Chains A and B, each alone.
Chain A
């Protein structure tokens, strides 16, 4: 069964600090892995998209890594800001035609 597990479920950090969110998946065959940011009451917004051959991809203060051998990804947020408070969702495409599996997300709260 295709699964995407994220950890931690929730996280509180001080403004200006860094943090790393984890994503483990069992989806096979693998097409790509995406990270989304979802503000409360809004739709998800794409942060990064990574294919099998990519190890690292950055989008401003967000850096995603992918280890396709261990089926793990991480999202690193540098110098956090209050506006980073949101849920971060890991999504893996694959495991069949037009198949996509969403993680349950990590809820990040950045406090002053």
Chain B
């Protein structure tokens, strides 16, 4: 198993550009989520999905879109990048759709470091 993979590892964008951060897992997990990690702050939940075709907003969803057409993939789209979106982005997955309330282990990807100029 490759676990949770993310691409790219690094990305530099100009303000106003759009891009998609890719996330895939090969563990047949129902729950997938996106977080951002900023210096001096804890990780914050952007969007999550409890299964194919089902997505919902987390704590900081503005400026981001997600979709979940397959169990394996959960891409994060930046519609019009802003300097405030400079951050490290982590994708995570876990077995059940109730994973946050259960004792399922959450597996994180290696992260994408994004800089918006």
Contact = CB atoms under 8 A, between A and B. Distances in A.
A34 B106 contact: yes
Given A31-B101, A100-B100, A43 B45 contact: no
Main SS class of interface, A: strand
Given A4-B42, A98-B100, A102-B42, A43 B106 contact: no
A43 B90 contact: yes
Contacts of A105: 42
Nearest to A34: B106
A18 B44 CA distance: 30
A93 B109 contact: no
Contact of B42 (A32, A46, A103): A103
Interface string B27-59: 000000001000011111100100000001010
Nearest to A101: B42
Interface of B: 4, 35, 40-45, 48, 56, 58, 90, 92, 100-103, 105-111
